[in-house]
Chains A and B, each alone.
Chain A
Amino acid sequence: MIDFLLNGQPRRCEASPDTSVLELLRDTLGQTGTKEGCASGDCGACTVAIGEGDAAGKTRYHAANACITPAHQLQGRALVTVEGLARGETLHPAQAAMVEHHGSQCGFCTPGIVMSLFTLHESQRQEDGERPAPLTPERLEAALGGNLCRCTGYRPIRDAALAMGDSPRGASRVARPSPDAAAPATEATPEAAFIQPTTLEALIAERRAHPEAPIVAGGTDLWLEVTQRLARFPRVVDITRVDELAALEETTLEDGRAGWWIWRRGDVRAPGAAVRRALPGVRPPAASSGLGPGAQPRHPGRQHRQRLPHRRHPAGAARPGRAAMAGGPRDGDGMAERELPLDDFFLDYKKTALREGEVIRAIFLPRTEPERHLKVWKLSKRREDDISAVLGAFAWRIEEGVLRDVRLAFGGMAAIPATRRGRRGDAGGAVPQRGGLCGGPCRRWRRTSSP
């Protein structure tokens, strides 16, 4: 049973554990304004806004792809769809601006774009009182990067977004309930359940009792099994409400490496801030959206880092330092913990070193030494695609004109992210010239890689 607010009205729905928000809206509630496009979180046609109460008691909305968001994650939250924006004949500024600037042609992508604009409008208003802050091109691009339009063209949509900022009152037309995020749905039955533990102990107990149940956080990978392969999951474990996994800790490991343990979340922006601190001087891409995907999948990715190692796609980003696991199949109430270098964590395609009953407790992100060079280059069909075709990450340092500590890594070139730790020996000590770094080691890599 899911209790949530739909466009300001309390709703109580039954749904199987593997039901998506989109299925709940269209099939159960008859709310067909939200469209199904790609059903894989890429096109943004199904974008909705999900509100959560923050520490200050305010409702903060983020855009989400309804097609890959578990319906049970709505428990205690506020869902806003395109049907909930207008008040009678009065359109929300996002809608009015789209009409005024001819931002819709065939209309299929329009509900999703309007909801992305709504979320943008909300975030602008929340940061600057009732009057929206000026909209920067970077912020606009980041907000709309997860929405595809194939007939209208983006310029009218962009014009609408810029015009929307002139309206100070629009967001207040949406009902502002205070969603109770502390009410997880744990009404399990022997046949089906969407389990939402709130403590690490409860999470590990669940993992030990039902190791076959998949873990979900953002759903951006697991839910593709549902939408693309029609898989069914009678039992799902949601880790997004485990408090102990909500921290960011600066530390120094026993081997002297400084860095950060990143737990699931704390401040929503904390992992991103840690990355920026860990990689001082990193030059961001031209657009501020960075290496990541559009706003819809980026939000759960930012909030729920645990999804990354549990179901690691080989085309993902380069690996940071270490993983800490907790749990394991042992008797009693104890909580075994262990750590692994991330190089040893990935075993094969979507297979990791996680033992039965274990969960990822944290990821260690090492600080980059100031004398090291670092290049991370990603190639993707489009910038906001959440999965790259190829990603290369390269680090080295130059010591008196000689290459030292070279590390090369590729995503998308093998069943798991491919690193060349051994290349330290091959490339370290080479004078940086043609035939040095990219001579023997790279030729061998080309021979052995099998994308």
Chain B
Amino acid sequence: MSDVRGSADYRRLSAANLLERLRLVVTADDQDTTSTSAREVMLDAYAH
């Protein structure tokens, strides 16, 4: 499913990195859902 948006390897690596980011967030001490960081919509744009 490699296409202009990125190769399959790139996307698999990106997804793995997102899961790692998720792990860091989940294991962080601050799990207060009332804080503004509890819900987040972010976009990262990278040339590849």
A380 x B41 contact (CB < 8 A): no
Which chain B residues border A385 with CB–CB below 8 Å?
45
In Å, the complex CA distance between A246 and B21 comes to 39
**Contacts known (A373-B31, A396-B26, A403-B26); A282 close to B15, Cβ less than 8 A:** no
- Name the segment of A115-123, A321-329, A387-395 touching the other chain: A387-395
A450 x B23 contact (CB < 8 A): no
A377 x B44 contact (CB < 8 A): yes
Distance between B6 CB and nearest chain A CB, rounded to angstroms: 4
B22 x A450 contact (CB < 8 A): no
Q: How many residues of A contact B (CB 8 A)?
A: 52
**Contacts known (A370-B33, A412-B5); A279 close to B44, Cβ less than 8 A:** no
In Å, the complex CA distance between A376 and B20 comes to 14
In Å, the complex CA distance between A372 and B18 comes to 19
Which chain B residues border A375 with CB–CB below 8 Å?
22, 25, 39-40, 42
Whether a CB of chain B sits under 8 angstroms from the CB of A88 is no
Which chain B residues border A389 with CB–CB below 8 Å?
5-6, 10-11, 14, 48
Taking CB atoms and an 8 Å cut-off, the chain A residues in 409-448 that contact chain B are 410, 412-413, 415, 432-434, 436-438, 442, 445-446
> Helix, strand, loop or mixed for chain A's interface?
loop
A378 x B42 contact (CB < 8 A): yes
A413 x B12 contact (CB < 8 A): yes
Whether a CB of chain B sits under 8 angstroms from the CB of A87 is no
B26 x A432 contact (CB < 8 A): yes
A371 x B33 contact (CB < 8 A): yes
B39 x A281 contact (CB < 8 A): yes
Whether a CB of chain B sits under 8 angstroms from the CB of A334 is no
Which chain B residues border A434 with CB–CB below 8 Å?
23, 27
A451 x B12 contact (CB < 8 A): yes
CB nearest to B36 among chain A residues: A283
A285 x B5 contact (CB < 8 A): no
Q: How many residues of B contact A (CB 8 A)?
A: 34
In Å, the complex CA distance between A366 and B21 comes to 25
CB nearest to A406 among chain B residues: B26
A372 x B15 contact (CB < 8 A): no
In Å, the complex CA distance between A433 and B24 comes to 9
Among A378, A389, A449, chain B packs the most CB atoms within 10 A around the CB of A389
Which chain A residues border B43 with CB–CB below 8 Å?
285, 290-291, 377-380, 383
Which chain B residues border A281 with CB–CB below 8 Å?
36, 38-39
B19 x A374 contact (CB < 8 A): no
Which chain B residues border A436 with CB–CB below 8 Å?
26
CB nearest to B44 among chain A residues: A379
A446 x B16 contact (CB < 8 A): yes
Distance between A144 CB and nearest chain B CB, rounded to angstroms: 15
**Which of the residues A291, A379, A387, A442 comes within 8 Å of B14, measured between beta carbons?**
A379
**Contacts known (A283-B39, A451-B11); A438 close to B22, Cβ less than 8 A:** yes
In Å, the complex CA distance between A445 and B15 comes to 10
CB nearest to A412 among chain B residues: B11
Whether a CB of chain B sits under 8 angstroms from the CB of A129 is no
**Which of the residues A285, A370, A382 comes within 8 Å of B41, measured between beta carbons?**
A285
**Which of the residues A376, A388, A392, A432 comes within 8 Å of B27, measured between beta carbons?**
A432
Distance between B34 CB and nearest chain A CB, rounded to angstroms: 8
Taking CB atoms and an 8 Å cut-off, the chain A residues in 345-374 that contact chain B are 368, 370-374
Which chain A residues border B33 with CB–CB below 8 Å?
370-373, 397
In Å, the complex CA distance between A394 and B39 comes to 10
Whether a CB of chain B sits under 8 angstroms from the CB of A30 is no
B8 x A451 contact (CB < 8 A): yes
Among B15, B16, B27, chain A packs the most CB atoms within 10 A around the CB of B15
B31 x A410 contact (CB < 8 A): no
In Å, the complex CA distance between A169 and B10 comes to 50
Can you show 28 pairs from A to B with CB atoms below 8 A apart?
Answer: A279-B41, A280-B39, A281-B39, A283-B42, A284-B41, A285-B42, A291-B43, A370-B33, A375-B40, A376-B41, A377-B18, A379-B18, A379-B43, A380-B5, A380-B45, A381-B6, A383-B43, A387-B5, A390-B18, A396-B26, A398-B31, A436-B26, A437-B23, A446-B15, A450-B8, A451-B8, A451-B11, A451-B15
- Contact residues of A with B, CB < 8 Å? 279-285, 290-291, 315, 368, 370-383, 385, 387-390, 392, 394, 396-398, 403, 410, 412-413, 415, 432-434, 436-438, 442, 445-446, 449-451
With A379-B14, A381-B46, A437-B22 known, 9 other A-B pairs at CB within 8 A are A282-B39, A285-B42, A290-B41, A373-B31, A376-B42, A388-B5, A390-B11, A446-B12, A446-B16
Shortest 7 CB-CB contacts between residues of A and residues of B:
A451-B11, A438-B23, A392-B18, A389-B6, A383-B45, A390-B14, A374-B39
